[in-house]
Structure 1
């Protein structure tokens, strides 16, 4: 008899079959997402049935929490109908993700599904009362046009897929897009309610958009004090505006090779220090590689890809060298600690190497996943991993970006900010350059709420740790704490808090 955990995992992988192949879970190698209205209704009904049985199931309490979150999360995504207005380079753009995954996932058995997939996505774009931004329509069409103009790629095999991509591009070009002044969900039907649910899903907390907006403003103010302190040591000035100017124009990469070498050295340093902070270390290796050349123009600055379950592929920290000489080298170390060691590589590999059920190993819970990644950026400073104050300025730079996300994501989707208002805020309060800001803002518009998970997750993990330390006093062991956080798999933050409370004797 199939357990409720297994039934939920089946639904999760039906929702995201490319992920199943990526991590080496068999059974989905010939499938792509079903984005048809009928497919979404059928999956939603299955998940509703799971929710109706979770409380009476024989699953353990932690697994029940994860099952409940995963079912509610996918239902929230389906109900928000993001597929009907996500066409650019955001995390939810189906065709962008398809093209990006062709370099990561074996497509030999699923090529036949590509034309149907494109037809489904195009159909959703045509039959809707929602519209993407005009600039996103143009960006998405340009991305497909670049693919159509490129030489035939290995993943296409002998299949004639390009006419289907050309038809999708024609649909995009015929869409009447929204203006930048109406960038957020609050301008779309049911937008305010959908955003409220997405905020709850991505943060796994009860924070309201207004509370998160205020929190972001407060964090930005505090970071300015840290910038002044470290900037005075590096450049002899505490003028934050001058520090920002110099960070945007100085300390840039000389070439791509230096970028790769710096990342590799940071990972080696972190691996050497990790045994003093973690009792359990992952068996899987972590490699640092450049993003494949054909993906660089549309890929993010950096990302991590899970190791295969069977050990056939290590975890990979992908670093994008696109336009390297205009990027700050201060971000190198902090990004390596977040994406690789002790960040996502430790987190994801340790969970995958446990005896937990697959739903616990591979749950999509961004507050835990990205909260841990951001937590390790400051943990790396505690571990003595940063090589200089210049590198610590990079730590502040990513902190400011994540705090700024709380402000602009809620500003766009709850407060009705225009795209330009969000751009101006990040320009004033972070050291990102204009192209980075454009990419970030477009991502937030097409993936509402996801950007909130990072800082909320980090603050919750820090709060949980602080309470455990206070309760245990001299008996608090940071290695045991980290093992507890990572060995229980991917869980909602409230569940993590309960596990740590029980461990520390607070309950």
Structure 2
């Protein structure tokens, strides 16, 4: 590979990590340990200019076609997010908001060298909120302020060291409370300046396809209808009824956890079972281990129900599947196994760790391509059934429950951001068509409002992985090897879906 090509990859990766330096620390990449995101307008525009320059050169480079596709996507993706100016109205307690995200990462990432950056970070976040024509949703202002109030009332955290950071967080909370918000009836991007065009660009970014919001909305409606047939089939075996509303009612009120320790035990057993049979389905296995842990107590109020943290490159930290035990006894145990397969094995742990352990350039190992990353996670939920991993039909109902959530996301994300749905319309749709509880629906809807388009990536990515797999199996017939297919998908790292199609097509040439 020529120096100029390597330089283009290096430039892109440098820009990616400058955009999110805490990620570099999380995976053990040196050079960013003393930095936090630059949220200022000037900083964003300077980074945008760097990325635009990269884009002006990528098409004429002699870069490998897949490298070129990844470089182009990463540059365009960050530009899309900068232009959407989400930082100016993203304030809720979830990890998407800059300040809440900082608090969520602080206990997970080494902050010792970047504590001096926190006051600047807080000031920039406040300045963007105070100097914009975009308004956050009113309930998110209250939610973000309450999260900060809990932090300020908590005992001093280990990550704070000797730094006096809390006055800065207190000032930021006051800024939040001074903002004028927008009502729940105007939850989506389409109610904000340039909202429709920003959402269309975010849809292209997160799905890496040309799907329109209207097409994705209809796709979600169609998938939800088909899932009801599967609910009836499995529900008849579990409870002797094909009445879908009754199956939903029982899933919401029965099969709940007795205590949080049972939740942890079930996840550990599911991961171990998946690891035992993985060699039959994957030729290449991750070297790093995957541990299952509870979310740290301080973070449980705002953390998602489950998530995965990458293993450190130097082996100092394994991959970690985090479970949030908050409210365990009112949550369905049917989601235990499907979530473990998605987040840990053979889901994100396999995907992220195997890519990190390859000889690919870092721009390929660590590309932020949600349609691939989350598409693989969702793909493995159904793959787990092929692998014989679900212990019962009850757990298969959990698989359907998460399928319905992801199909419902296509409907409500596009509904709010493109079609002008109110927040309550989105809540009502998920209540009628999924088995999520009211608190889970509230959490999900607020997430979709704050990260427009991201929720679309899961199902779009899963369907595309299945499509290219089916086409490969048809072309190869008896020569199709599922282990080799999975190795091909994972060993190339995150790629746009069109690039994945090209890779699989080259692997299975037509006779």
Mark yes or no: TM-score above 0.5.
yes
Q: Do 2:95 and 2:104's aligned partners in 1 also have CA atoms closer than 8 Å?
A: no
Q: What SS does structure 2 have at the residue aligned with 1:171?
A: helix
Matched, 1:464 2:468: yes
In structure 2, what is the equivalent of residue 156 of structure 1?
Answer: 160
In structure 2, what is the equivalent of residue 262 of structure 1?
Answer: 266
Q: Do 1:464 and 1:500's aligned partners in 2 also have CA atoms closer than 8 Å?
A: yes
Superposed counterparts of 1:43-442, under 5 Å: 43-442=47-446
Shift of residue 506 of structure 1? 3.4
Q: Do 2:94 and 2:303's aligned partners in 1 also have CA atoms closer than 8 Å?
A: no
Q: Distance in 2 between matches of 1:250 and 1:258?
A: 15
Matched, 1:28 2:32: yes
Q: Distance in 1 between matches of 2:494 and 2:17?
A: 16
Q: Do 1:360 and 1:491's aligned partners in 2 also have CA atoms closer than 8 Å?
A: yes
Q: Distance in 1 between matches of 2:467 and 2:312?
A: 33
Q: Distance in 2 between matches of 1:139 and 1:328?
A: 25
Q: Distance in 1 between matches of 2:136 and 2:94?
A: 12
In structure 1, what is the equivalent of residue 489 of structure 2?
Answer: 485
Cα-to-partner distance string for 1:85-130 (whole Å, 9 max, x where unaligned): 0000344210111000011101000000001100000000000000
Q: Distance in 1 between matches of 2:308 and 2:160?
A: 24
Q: Distance in 2 between matches of 1:490 and 1:463?
A: 17
Q: Distance in 1 between matches of 2:273 and 2:100?
A: 35
Q: Distance in 2 between matches of 1:266 and 1:148?
A: 38
Q: Distance in 1 between matches of 2:106 and 2:58?
A: 36
Judged with a 3 Å threshold, the aligned counterparts in structure 2 of structure 1 residues 409 and 91 are, in CA distance, closer, same or farther, namely: farther
Q: Distance in 1 between matches of 2:93 and 2:495?
A: 28
Cα-to-partner distance string for 1:398-422 (whole Å, 9 max, x where unaligned): 0000000000000000000000000
Q: What SS does structure 1 have at the residue aligned with 2:50?
A: helix
Shift of residue 59 of structure 1? 1.9
- Mind listing any 5+ residue stretches in structure 2 that lack a counterpart? none
Shift of residue 55 of structure 1? 1.3
Shift of residue 38 of structure 1? 0.3
**For the aligned residues, what is the CA RMSD?**
0.8
Report the TM-score, using the length of structure 2 for normalisation.
0.99
Q: What SS does structure 2 have at the residue aligned with 1:303?
A: strand
Pairs aligned (count): 507
Cα-to-partner distance string for 1:116-160 (whole Å, 9 max, x where unaligned): 100000000000000100000000000000000000111111100
Cα-to-partner distance string for 1:54-99 (whole Å, 9 max, x where unaligned): 1122321100000000000000000000000000034421011100
Q: Do 2:69 and 2:495's aligned partners in 1 also have CA atoms closer than 8 Å?
A: yes
Q: What SS does structure 1 have at the residue aligned with 2:163?
A: coil
